[in-house]
Amino acid sequence: MSVEINKQGDVAVITINNPAVNALGHAVRAGIADQIAAANADAAVAAIVLTGAGRFFSAGADISEFGKASQEPILPAVCQAIEDSAKPVVAALPGPALGGGCELTLSCHARIALATAEVGLPEVKLGLIPGAGGTQRLPRLIGAKAAFAIMLDGEPLKAKKALDAGILDAVVESDVVAAAVAHARSLAGKPLRRTGALTIPAEQREAFEAAATAALKKDPESPNVPALVDCVRAAFDKPFAEAMAFEREQFVKLLKNERSIALRHVFFAERGAARVADAPKDTKARNVGKVAIIGAGTMGGGIAMSFVAAGVPVILIENDKEALERGVSRVAGNYDFSVSRGSMTEARKAELMGRIDGRVGLEAAADADLVIEAVFEEMTVKKDVFGKLDKIAKKGAILATNTSYLNVDDIAAATARPADVVGLHFFSPANVMKLLEIVRAKHTAPDVLVTAVALARKIGKMPVVVGNCHGFVGNRMLARRSQQVERLLTEGALPQQVDAALRTFGFRMGPCAMSDLAGLDISWRMRKATGQKAPVADALCEAGRFGQKAGRGYYLYQDGRTPTPDPEVEQLLAKVSAAQGVTRRAISEEEITQRLIYPMINEGTRILAEGIAARSADIDVVWVHGYNFPRWRGGPMHYADQVGLKHIAERLEAYSKATGDESLAPAPLLRELADKGGSFAKGTPGG
């Protein structure tokens, strides 16, 4: 039985019992509706309590029913039956009431929760809106502005906060069902407060509209925020039943909306990406109390900030005193900036700085449980550090490298304990960027990976476990895009056209402005050292155009920060084209977009075929969190599925032929999927 009934005197207690989270599948919905009707028909029952068995009240909709036709009774009808009940219904929350679970409680006549419970409407994170009266009942219950903020944020409220907000009527430390039974009994025979019958005072309108305008501006491409706004407006303007029908209509529309589907895809991909393929289920994480970071440069400092913000003290290690002081004061400078903007207090800064123990010499890593190396990107330097660490670090310590490109197997080989070596590829700025590529080398032990995932979560990062190859997942795909930027600029496009195309696609910044921001000189020096060429970027650097910091790069920065197109760059491009015997031509925005995005997808296909990424969705998480790929497009691989792999393969083929660039030819797996009508999400039909 997924819904149970028992009587405590004249109070009927209806218990949702559908492990593990009391999801509101069809049987549960029908069970609640039946029991509410039965309790109303039973003369011996004076009042009703609705609760959940186990740790949850209910975590909401049964996601396995997503995308299927909904079976009656649908949740809004069950909620209505509860609200219309002639006998009082009190919700007793032993734990979280989320999404549809929360909406069930909103239709009850009162709500009592254990202090450890939480309530929330997280639908916005799934590209949806509450669809069972949440957008109507919550504003009526607690006010439009407060309700909108909660629904827009999607984060659950702890019981105490929910009580203060007016969502809960009482919070108890124990025996929540007993408290609810007593309260229900006290309501019997009295007029009931039916949430749907409340009205929202018109004077709340202005404050809500201001919040709505800000939200729409912040997330202009969102499919569901406008719907949420419209539903709350309906709560002001329409009679309850009509407004409920409007909410339902919006909800059903979103279920089929491409952007909403993409947001759902990313939501579930984020949960899946940290899974360590083939690690036994009972793999235990190693205990990590002490963390040492080697190298207090750009990355080392940022990584240290990530740990101390999460309350984990770090030992920050440099070669010499000067470098250490420089590194530590750079971190302090970062905090000072936050203090000056008012987003951090001096006291908090002192607390965080107090967790950073700066030391000179690798010996300081001796008792660390995790050592993260972030020294120069040079194999000889890395090997030297790992060789020494092997002698210094304690047994069982995890030895991690933050390398962006280098072979983690080779780094591990400098130690006698390759099973303890892993790549932890943070992104810059490391205290801000969410992505963490956890690089699994040939000998990396499963418990090392499991530990890395747990730690990533602890410090608020988004972990994705990837395989070992040049550039791993993200940078390897990025290289394909960078290659095309070079070619497009050589063939006739201008930086502003290239950037505009990707901004139209949904990136916040185009690749040229991005390179200017990062500085062009570092990769130029790297290319010179390795004998590689990038004619346009090389020419810019030779002209001293190192990017924003130099006041000139792909653009001119007259005020130091605003990119403006520069005629000098146009002349420089003309020279590069001429030197390569290329006649410049006008290139359409469509071609620019496709030539920047499709080759990345092509490389993603190779990454999949090689098993560097376990799932195409993992690649999407990397791009959404590491490179600002528009979330509402679902990541490159999801986007490819939506556009159709056949189209992508055909365009790549055509561009490859037209430009003579063989790197653009569709990868074998892409060709195969395209030919068979397959997709990244589903593979090949029947295969």
- Which string of x and - marks every residue 490-509 that binds ligand NAI (by CB under 6 A)? --------------------
Instruction: Pick the binder of ligand NAI from 62, 83, 318, 521 (CB under 6 A).
Output: 318
Residue 226 interacting with ligand NAI (CB under 6 A): no
Decide: is 299 part of the binding site for ligand NAI (CB under 6 A).
Answer: yes
Locate all alpha helices (DSSP H) within 166-257, ordered by sequence.
176-187, 205-218, 225-237, 240-256
Q: Pick the closer one to ligand NAI by CB: 177 or 621.
A: 621
Provide, rounded to whole angstroms, the least separation between the CB of residue 441 and ligand NAI.
15
173 is catalytic: no
What is the identity of the amino acid at 532?
Q
Element (H, E) at 329: helix 321-341
Which CB atom, from 335 or from 427, has the smaller least distance to ligand NAI? Answer: 427
Q: Does 377 bind ligand NAI (CB under 6 A)?
A: yes
526 binds ligand NAI (CB under 6 A): no
Q: Is 523 in the site for ligand NAI (CB under 6 A)?
A: no
Residue from 35, 135, 403, 548 touching ligand NAI (CB under 6 A): that is 403
Asked if residues 444 and 421 have their Cβ atoms less than 8 Å apart, the reply is yes
Residue 323 or 339 having the CB closest to ligand NAI: 323
Least Å from the CB of residue 162 to ligand NAI:
40
Helices and strands counted in the chain (H then E) = 28, 17
> What angle, rounded to 10 degrees, do the helices at 495-505 and 474-491 form?
130
143 binds ligand NAI (CB under 6 A): no
CB atoms within 10 A of CB 670: 27
Residue 350 within binding range of ligand NAI, rule CB under 6 A: no
560 phi-psi bin (left φ>0, alpha ψ -120 to 50, beta other) = left
The reply on whether position 300 binds ligand NAI by CB under 6 A is yes
Q: Is 402 in the site for ligand NAI (CB under 6 A)?
A: yes
The only residue of 54, 297, 313, 565 in contact with ligand NAI, by rule CB under 6 A: 297
Binding status of residue 516 toward ligand NAI by CB under 6 A: no
Quote the tokens at residue 43. Answer: 């003369």
Direct distance between the N- and C-terminal alpha carbons of the chain, in angstroms, rounded to an integer? 38
Closer of 76 and 300 to ligand NAI (Cβ): 300
The phi, psi pair for 193, rounded to 5°, reads: -90, 105
Q: Could you give the C-alpha distances from 74 to 30, 248, 376, 392, in angstroms and in order?
A: 9, 10, 59, 63
Give the whole-angstrom CA distance, residue 420 versus residue 398: 5
Query: Of 77, 279, 310, 323, which lies in the binding site for ligand NAI, with binding defined by CB under 6 A?
Result: 323
Nearer to ligand NAI, 303 or 597 (CB): 303
Nearer to ligand NAI, 22 or 444 (CB): 444
- CA 403, CA 413: separation in Å to the nearest integer? 15
Closer Cβ to ligand NAI, 381 or 578, answer by number: 381
Q: Which residue lies nearer to ligand NAI by CB, 296 or 412?
A: 296
At closest approach, how far in Å is the CB of 557 from ligand NAI?
Answer: 20
Q: Half-sphere exposure of residue 81, counting CA atoms within 13 Å on the CB side?
A: 20
**Which of 152, 315, 317, 624 lies at the binding interface for ligand NAI (CB under 6 A)?**
317
Tokens of 482: 């960078």
Nearer to ligand NAI, 82 or 292 (CB): 292
Q: Is 626 in the site for ligand NAI (CB under 6 A)?
A: no
> Would you count residue 519 as binding ligand NAI (CB under 6 A)?
no
* Cis, peptide link before residue 77, omega less than 30° from 0: no
- CA distances to 320, 503, 509, 570 from 552, rounded to whole Å, are 34, 21, 17, 13
213 binds ligand NAI per the rule CB under 6 A: no
Min separation Cβ 324 and ligand NAI, Å: 8
The binder of ligand NAI chosen from 214, 350, 381, 579 (CB under 6 A): 381
What whole-number distance in Å separates Cα of residue 415 and Cα of residue 399?
10
Closest residue to ligand NAI: CB criterion: 297
The residue assigned the tokens 């309850």 is 240
AA identity, residue 49: V
Q: How many angstroms separate the CA atoms of 668 and 125, rounded?
A: 35
**Of 311, 376, 562, 668, the one binding ligand NAI by CB under 6 A:** 376
Nearest to 602, CA basis, from 531, 548, 680, 501: 680
For 200, the 3-state DSSP assignment is coil
The residue behind tokens 């036709």 is 69
CB of 293 to ligand NAI, least distance (A): 9
Give residue for tokens 């083939």: 278
Residue 103 catalytic? yes
Query: Of the two residues 159 and 294, which places its CB atom closer to ligand NAI in the complex?
Result: 294
Compute the least distance from the CB of residue 302 to ligand NAI, in Å: 8
Write down the catalytic residue from 103, 270, 318, 491: 103
Considering the rule CB under 6 A, would residue 179 count as an interface residue with ligand NAI?
no
Structure tokens at 523: 């990769």
Which of 4, 65, 83, 123 is the catalytic position? 123
CA 32, distance to chain mean position in Å, is 34
Neighbours of 13 (CB within 10 A): 23
The correct pick among 107, 260, 404, 483 for binding ligand NAI (CB under 6 A) is 404
Q: Are 621 and 609 in contact (CB under 8 A)?
A: no
Map tokens 């124990």 to a residue. Answer: 174
Q: How many residues of this chain bind ligand NAI (CB under 6 A)?
A: 24
- Is 428 a binding residue for ligand NAI by CB under 6 A? The answer is yes
Comparison of 455 and 501: residue with beta carbon closer to ligand NAI? 455
Q: Pick from 116, 298, 656, 663 the residue near ligand NAI by CB under 6 A.
A: 298
Cα separation, 645 vs 661, in Å, equals 20
Residue (of 222, 217, 166) closest to 195 by Cα position: 166
Instruction: Return the active site residues.
Output: 103, 123
* Interacting residue ranges for ligand NAI, rule: CB under 6 A: 294-300, 317-319, 323, 327, 374-377, 381, 385, 402-404, 426-428
